[in-house]
Amino acid sequence: MKICIIGQGYIGLPTAALFADNGCEVVGVDINEDIIRTLNEGKIHIEEPGIQQIINKAAKSGSYHASLKPEEADVFIITVPTPFIADDLSCDLSYVVNGCRSIVPFLKKGNVVIIESTIAPMSTDNQIKPIFEEAGFKIGTDLYLAHCPERVLPGKIIEELIHNDRIIGGITPECSDKAAEVYATFVKGKLMKTEAKTAEMSKCMENTFRDVNIALANELAKICAEIGVNALDVIEMANKHPRVNIHTPGPGVGGHCLAIDPYFIYSEAPDTARIIKLARDTNNSMPKFVAEKTREIIKNHTSMYKPKIAVLGVAYKGNTGDARESPAFEIIQRLESNGYEIAIHDPHIKNNHYVGLEEALESASIALILADHNEFKELDYDLVLSKMKNPIIFDTKNIIKNCPEEIELFNYGNLYQI
């Protein structure tokens, strides 16, 4: 089976790697020349465990190559980004539509086309199907079209691609059958067949469920800071109830999924999707809250003339170099506009403006933890004590345990004590 995958990003590349590793011939297509060059040199451009080894093996055996242009194949998979349109918060399908148009000249009868990108409910029926029908294909007999959303967690992509259950949303039952056969190549989880619109809504709702629950945790943290309760203790106690699972409050919600997908539902039914929108607004308010609390800590607990803030971590997710939609950027920008000197350190992100841990901590008034990297869970406290005069840590990810007494620690458990 030959597979052509449009988009070689966080999802397209690992998917390509797994098909190539399981007996398929794979061409990975991307519009970015640098990415194609990097991949054809046998290197990968994302930080994700396990992929480099598989790509090395596949490139050697000839089962994988990267290209700027699609090629004829049996199966076409679209894994391109779907941002939202700022004006009305709707799903921007332009990359998906362009990807679909780009494969039309290479399509033959009997091919399978799968959209993996997260898309708003009804997109496959209303916007994607017509592209192939206009090209003369009858869906369900000449061409098999399905929406099979990816649902993997960065950092564990390979494991989750193989073991997670998969939603297979065909335009017709025949489309679902054909798409399921494709994934049966390597997926060990269940292949659950359904309609395209159900698959679209399920995927958007999975991330909305999480976003709404995080918003509840963030709201709890704000209420506790206001009325003087330890939010972290509350969460620990409440979660001992067998049917309660309060999520973890943090600096806001980042990433390309939770911060975006709920809008796809909201924009389809704005008058009805009220909790969904309120949750987005609550999570979007967290960077302002963190910046305000940081200012309060500095004001009440330091006497420096020109305070310096060491920002530890900008990635939206711990132990990855992924900073897409990270709330850290708004926090940094707000604090910078207040005139603070900011030194940024993120051991997982290469950036000429970022500095090493020692340099970031040097004479800093406060260390502000914005990412739950393992490096910060086990901070070198001797270094902190030697570099900072009256060390204060504001841990917005609630990861610091066993902090020495000489360091003043703020987290969502004691914000009311600022």
**Residue 150 Cβ, how far from ligand SAJ at the closest point, in Å?**
6
| Nearer residue to ligand SAJ within complex by CB, 257 or 298 | 257
Q: Given the rule CB under 6 A, which of 27-35, 206-214, 289-297, 406-414 is the region that contacts ligand SAJ?
A: 206-214
Contact 21, 54 (CB under 8 A): yes
**Residue 118 Cβ, how far from ligand SAJ at the closest point, in Å?**
6
Residue 254 touching ligand SAJ (CB under 6 A): yes
Using alpha carbons, select from 318, 328, 412 the residue that is nearest to residue 374.
318
| Cα 62 to Cα 65, 158, 252, 418, distances in angstroms | 7, 21, 43, 60
Q: Given the rule CB under 6 A, which of 129-137, 183-191, 204-212, 302-310 is the region that contacts ligand SAJ?
A: 204-212
Residue 2 touching ligand SAJ (CB under 6 A): no
Side by side, the strands of the sheet bearing 25-29 are: 64-67, 25-29, 2-6, 75-78, 112-115, 144-147, 166-170, 191-195
Residue 193 touching ligand SAJ (CB under 6 A): no
State the alpha helices, DSSP H only, in 110-195: 123, 129-134, 157-163, 173-183
| Nearer residue to ligand SAJ within complex by CB, 345 or 397 | 397
Tell which one of 15, 82, 111, 118 touches ligand SAJ (CB under 6 A).
Answer: 118
CA torsion sign for 342, 344, 350, 352 is: positive
Q: Which of 91, 148, 257, 293 is catalytic?
A: 257
- Number of residues assigned to the chain: 418
| Nearer residue to ligand SAJ within complex by CB, 193 or 373 | 373
| Nearer residue to ligand SAJ within complex by CB, 111 or 320 | 320
Helices 12-21, 51-61: crossing angle, 10 deg rounding: 50
Using alpha carbons, select from 349, 310, 307 the residue that is nearest to residue 326.
349
Buried b (16+ CB within 10 A) or exposed e, 162-175: eebebbbbbbbeeb
Tell which one of 153, 237, 244, 278 touches ligand SAJ (CB under 6 A).
Answer: 153
Q: Given the rule CB under 6 A, which of 250-258, 305-313, 340-348, 361-369 is the region that contacts ligand SAJ?
A: 250-258
**Residue 398 Cβ, how far from ligand SAJ at the closest point, in Å?**
10
**Assigned token pair, 51:** 């992929």
Type and span of the H or E element at 209: helix 196-227
Residue 152 touching ligand SAJ (CB under 6 A): yes
E strands within 96-181? 112-115, 144-147, 166-170
The span from the CA of 275 to the CA of 230, in Å, is: 25
Per DSSP bridges, beta strands 166-170 and 144-147 are antiparallel
| Nearer residue to ligand SAJ within complex by CB, 45 or 247 | 247
Q: Given the rule CB under 6 A, which of 14-22, 177-185, 247-255, 349-357 is the region that contacts ligand SAJ?
A: 247-255
* 324 Cβ contact list (under 8 Å, min separation 6): 254, 255, 256, 316
Residue 231 touching ligand SAJ (CB under 6 A): no
Using alpha carbons, select from 393, 336, 389, 339 the residue that is nearest to residue 369.
393
Residue 324 touching ligand SAJ (CB under 6 A): no
Residue 313 touching ligand SAJ (CB under 6 A): no
Residue 154 touching ligand SAJ (CB under 6 A): yes
Residue 298 touching ligand SAJ (CB under 6 A): no
Q: Which of 203, 222, 293, 397 is catalytic?
A: 203
Active site residue 257: yes
Tell which one of 248, 284, 285, 302 touches ligand SAJ (CB under 6 A).
Answer: 248
Tell which one of 91, 115, 143, 151 touches ligand SAJ (CB under 6 A).
Answer: 151
Tell which one of 317, 345, 373, 387 touches ligand SAJ (CB under 6 A).
Answer: 317
Active site residue 175: no
Using CB under 6 A as the criterion, which residues of the chain lie in contact with ligand SAJ when the complex forms?
118, 150-154, 206-207, 210, 214, 217, 247-248, 250, 253-255, 257-258, 316-317
Q: Which residues are catalytic?
A: 203, 257
